[in-house]
Amino acid sequence: MRRSSIDWLNGDDLPLPIRPRPTPLDELPGDHDMYAVASEPLQCSQQRLDELTEEAIRFEHQTARSHFRTGMHLASLPSAPSISGFKQWLILGGVALLSLLVLVLMRPDGNGGLISNWSTQVFSEGQPQVTNSLSAVFLSDVRPPGDYALRAAPSLTPQQIDAILALYGSPATGTGAVWFDLGQQRGIDPAFAVAFFIHESGAGTAQGWAGLKPDGSTTHNVGNIICAGYPTCYGRFRDYPSWNDGIADWYRLIDVEYLQGRGHQTVADIIPVYAPSFENDVNGYVNVVQKLVDRWRTQGVQ
């Protein structure tokens, strides 16, 4: 009966192969005594050869069995090399250190920016340029460049709004929190409000701005809203008692009359009605507002 491989591995009584041997001398014809004497050394050598052959065969079988068992053992091991406890702690420590370094580099610098700088030039249409670092505000749900729907989370912080106004030398500098808070209340990204203010009057500094009064004061009319229906006016435009009032009225106008009333949602929807083509460059107006908002959203303000 043929033995299985397991029986063969476990057995100590290994079956030895049967090898053909030479015909014994006593079976040869002739003088048996003479043959016996002459062949005695040969028989001793043959016996020793047989013993060595059996030992070699047994050793060969034992070696094969050992390798086979080792192969079975290695096949049961996982393919990935094991990592010592020390190396595991070393790897975990390196990952933790890298994570801490990233957090430190991304920490806000107090001006709405990041410690790591990527300086660029911000777009301006004939106005002072705003240089800044890659300081995305990391406010939730900030829209990407190319999204010009006014209904959006703030993409500027109060500090960044003040930084923009200060760069223009605006008399409204210091009102960043007002723009931010009123924008959140109305659900409008304040970046659009500030961009309108810049285009309409150079953030209150343009020499020909209709909101400037001879005594140096202003109408606080950030969007050059026409006087119709408002109790106090200066020329054909509304005259507000404070920047808070002027900013709040702009948000109210856009929210109530354009977003809700007309169903407009984007800059390109609103401006043709807000600043009609018979007295404005509509395409130029749209481009200025969109490019300013894109720059602030991607590069922040320094």
Beta bridge partners, 132, equal 120
Cα–Cα dist 296/135, whole Å: 9
**Helix%, strand%, coil% for the chain, nearest 5:** 50, 5, 45
Question: What residue segments make up the domains of the chain, in order of their start?
Answer: 158-299
> What does the DSSP 8-state code read for residue 27?
G
Question: Mean pLDDT for the chain?
Answer: 74
Give Cα 259 distance to the centre of its chain. 33
Q: pTM of the entire structure? A: 0.56
Cα torsion 219, 222, 228, 232 to 10°: value is -20
In the chain, % of residues over pLDDT 90: 49
Q: Which two tokens stand for residue 138?
A: 């990391």
Contact by Cβ (8 Å): 182, 276: no
Which among 195, 150, 182, 196 has a CA at the least distance from the CA of 301?
A: 195
Q: pLDDT value at position 38?
A: 56
Phi-psi region of 198 (alpha: psi -120 to 50; beta: other; left: phi over 0): alpha
Contact by Cβ (8 Å): 192, 267: yes
Does residue 242 register a pLDDT over 80? yes
Which among 211, 182, 217 has a CA at the least distance from the CA of 197?
A: 211
Domain covering 158-299, topology? Lysozyme (1.10.530)
Which among 110, 131, 61, 287 has a CA at the least distance from the CA of 53?
A: 61
Q: What does the pLDDT look like over 124-173, one tens digit per residue? A: 344 444 434 334 444 445 677 788 999 999 999 999 999 999 999 999 99
Residues in CB range of 150: below 8 A, 6 or more apart: 188, 189, 192, 254, 259, 265, 266, 267, 270
Tell me which amino acid residue 84 is: S
Does residue 279 register a pLDDT over 60? yes
Which among 230, 235, 198 has a CA at the least distance from the CA of 213?
A: 235
Q: What is the mean pLDDT of residues 249-266?
A: 97
Does residue 23 register a pLDDT over 80? no
Long-range contacts of 238-246 (CB under 8 A, 24+ apart): 243/172, 243/175, 243/178, 244/175, 244/178, 245/220, 246/219, 246/220, 246/221, 246/222
Cα–Cα dist 129/195, whole Å: 13
Q: What does the pLDDT look like over 162-171, one tens digit per residue? A: 999 999 999 9
Contact by Cβ (8 Å): 98, 266: no
Q: What does the pLDDT look like over 51-105, one tens digit per residue? A: 766 666 666 656 555 544 444 444 444 444 455 566 666 666 666 666 666 555 5
Cα–Cα dist 158/182, whole Å: 11
